[in-house]
Chains A and B, each alone.
Chain A
Amino acid sequence: MSLEKIESCLQEIENRYNNDEKARKKLANYDEPIQLTFLDNQHKVLLLINKDQGIEVKDNSSDDNAPVKIEFSSEKVMLDLFNKEIGAVKAYSAGKIKVVEGKIRNLMKLKSLMF
């Protein structure tokens, strides 16, 4: 079933964390906040991952000091990613997703939640 609203994508991130043991295992040592920004409407979302103990998706929240910051050129990009209408590499190379801050080590762990 295709996702039509960005809120559904955010819910899917939570679902993947809660239901996918492998995704959670990857994050067993991860506890840094991740800020998502959608540039078309400046919508901001904060993902708080507490290792493999839980995830909190805070919509309309931001943390300027978040060590990982990912920008999407629009909400549609995230919808397209979750609906498998575009691949992550293609979205990256087209400049639709940009990691403005963050170490590659951390980003690799986040892939299974978002891409």
Chain B
Amino acid sequence: MNNPIEKILTIDISSNSVKTALVSDNLKINLTTSQDIKILNEDLDGFAKRIDMDDLWHKICINIKDIIQKCHSDNYKIIGISTCAQRIATVFLDKKGKIIYAGPNTDIRGIDSAYIIEDTFSEEELFEITAHNPSLLFCLARLLWFKEEEEEIYNKINKVLMLDDWLVYKLSGVFCTDLTSSAESQLIDIKKSNWSSEIIEKFDLNPDILPQIVESGSIIGYLVPNLTSKFELKSSKIPIIKSGGDTQASLLGMGAIENADLGITLGTTAPLHLIIDKPYIDPNLTFWTSFHSISGKWIIEAHAGNTGASYSWFKESFLQRFSEESDSIIDTFLQNSNPGALSTFAYLGPELMNLKDQTSIKRGVFVFPPPMMVSEVLPKIDDFARSIIENIAFGIYENFKALHNFQISKVFCAGGMSKSKEILKVIANVLDTDLNVPEFKDSSFIGAAMNTLKALDYFKDYRSFIEEFIKFEIISSDSSISEKYKEIYAQWKNIKNKVDKL
């Protein structure tokens, strides 16, 4: 019998779904499964949300069993399991390891407790330590919320984990975190690369509830025996490898690893990450700094907001009745319409990151030439679709422009929306830059697999490994279209300034 083919099992808990993939040791995605996750409102106001964790774990188990069953006939060996998850999401466990709170990245219960943080640190002081704001989003505010509002539960907290840390604990029984996950807790000193003793002391937190920090891309333990049998895995003693934040895994998988590389992840949101070699504190307190998966590298984050969410809303609300292949319909719409979409402009959220000053939810608006006697050509659905993609591209452009104060060498792009070449062309033309797009757009799986292979000593040098195994397509910008887009963006922006006041 031939030697078994080596595979890596990867799991990604994104904002809306839990996805599982089997990746080969030459970084090809062989099989994937995906299921939606359940986010529940805890109050009428819609501030407090929680993840249905029983449902999530059940779906993870089904996903894994499903994938294992599909490749049962193959001669394969799982050499490692690595996971990544939505950032900011937090899980609190009691002494028995039972979940007493699990909040997604959209849980803003911290709005009720952030005043404690604001009264203790000035905005500048806290940003200088954590490089993140506003406080109401993060684990620190959630901890203080429980201290204020649910003291009994607060007193039961034995471990504070980020969502990926929890999954690693479920698989291995080991409590740990890594800096790509924990940087989004507002408990990490970004310059010291460790839990902030200042924050812990000021808020009288028990440091024992915070897990040990391990390196992203390291073996932290082995799959617990009862899960090996539950998942019907052939191998025993399967290493569990810490990855961390899904965005950092995605950056690895799209090849954005060198200083001055910029990675754009086109998921539910569109974060832009610029890779740097030392921590940076934005003097305007706007852009976040976090850690890359690669030791000694940091990332500056600018964020274009709900890009994929706007795209999905349009598909689900307006296109589903036409066909289930709404992605290909959008491609056709883009081919049938021209830049500027007959002066049809969309304002659905994507814009320059400015979380610290955000106090209102802006209205969604389409501006377009209405049917009038003098109108010669009226926009069609093709143009409205294009206007949404252009809104997304303009939102990315505003952040891209802001990051241009730094050196940017190559721009990489991956994520769900990057599966459409037509969408990528719009983005390349609006940014007036070439995009390096990897063969596998679900790059978080590739990144998690790379972390596994690094932990298992399959390679030492990221660059040569990527060059050997990841194929890129270059989506080039067209200078004449880019020139047109400069004018179209100016028109869009001019109207945006008025629309924002609605």
Listed in ascending order, the chain A residues whose CB lies under 8 Å from chain B are 22, 26, 28-29, 84, 87-90, 92-93, 95, 97-99, 102-105, 107-109, 111-112, 115
Q: In the bound complex, do residue B363 and residue A109 qualify as a contact, i.e. CB atoms below 8 Å apart? A: no
Q: In the bound complex, do residue A22 and residue B115 qualify as a contact, i.e. CB atoms below 8 Å apart? A: no
Q: In the bound complex, do residue B46 and residue A87 qualify as a contact, i.e. CB atoms below 8 Å apart? A: yes
Query: Distance (Å) between the CB of B228 and the closest chain A CB?
Result: 43
Chain B residues positioned under 8 Å from A108 (CB to CB): 111-112, 114-115, 118, 136
Q: In the bound complex, do residue B359 and residue A103 qualify as a contact, i.e. CB atoms below 8 Å apart? A: yes
Residue among B119, B356, B360 with the highest chain A CB neighbour number at 10 A: B360
**Count the B residues whose beta carbon is within 8 Å of the partner chain — how many?**
23
Majority SS at the chain A contact face: helix
In angstroms, Cα B34 to Cα A62, docked, is 54
Q: In the bound complex, do residue A93 and residue B47 qualify as a contact, i.e. CB atoms below 8 Å apart? A: no
Chain B residues positioned under 8 Å from A97 (CB to CB): 360
Picked from A26, A84, A92, A104, the residue with its CB within 8 Å of the CB of B361 is: A92
Picked from A26, A95, A111, A112, the residue with its CB within 8 Å of the CB of B363 is: A95
Chain B residues positioned under 8 Å from A104 (CB to CB): 134, 136, 356-359
Picked from B111, B118, B360, B361, the residue with its CB within 8 Å of the CB of A111 is: B111
Listed in ascending order, the chain B residues whose CB lies under 8 Å from chain A are 43-47, 111-112, 114-115, 118-119, 123, 134, 136, 148, 356-361, 363, 502
Chain B residues positioned under 8 Å from A112 (CB to CB): 112
Chain A residues positioned under 8 Å from B47 (CB to CB): 88-89
27 of the cross-chain contacts (CB-CB < 8 Å) are A26-B115, A28-B119, A29-B119, A84-B44, A87-B45, A87-B46, A88-B45, A88-B46, A88-B47, A89-B46, A89-B361, A92-B360, A92-B361, A95-B361, A102-B359, A104-B134, A104-B136, A104-B356, A104-B357, A104-B359, A105-B114, A105-B115, A105-B118, A108-B112, A108-B114, A109-B118, A111-B112
Chain B residues positioned under 8 Å from A109 (CB to CB): 115, 118
In angstroms, Cα B356 to Cα A102, docked, is 11
Residue of A at shortest CB range from B502?
A95
Residue of B at shortest CB range from A26?
B115
Query: Distance (Å) between the CB of B423 and the closest chain A CB?
Result: 26
In angstroms, Cα B108 to Cα A92, docked, is 14
Residue of A at shortest CB range from B363?
A95
Chain A residues positioned under 8 Å from B134 (CB to CB): 104-105
Query: Distance (Å) between the CB of A27 and the closest chain B CB?
Result: 8
Q: In the bound complex, do residue B502 and residue A99 qualify as a contact, i.e. CB atoms below 8 Å apart? A: no
Residue of B at shortest CB range from A115?
B45
Q: In the bound complex, do residue A105 and residue B360 qualify as a contact, i.e. CB atoms below 8 Å apart? A: no
Chain B residues positioned under 8 Å from A90 (CB to CB): 46
Chain A residues positioned under 8 Å from B356 (CB to CB): 104
Question: What are the 4 closest A-B residue pairs judged by CB atoms, nearest first?
Answer: A89-B46, A99-B359, A87-B45, A93-B361
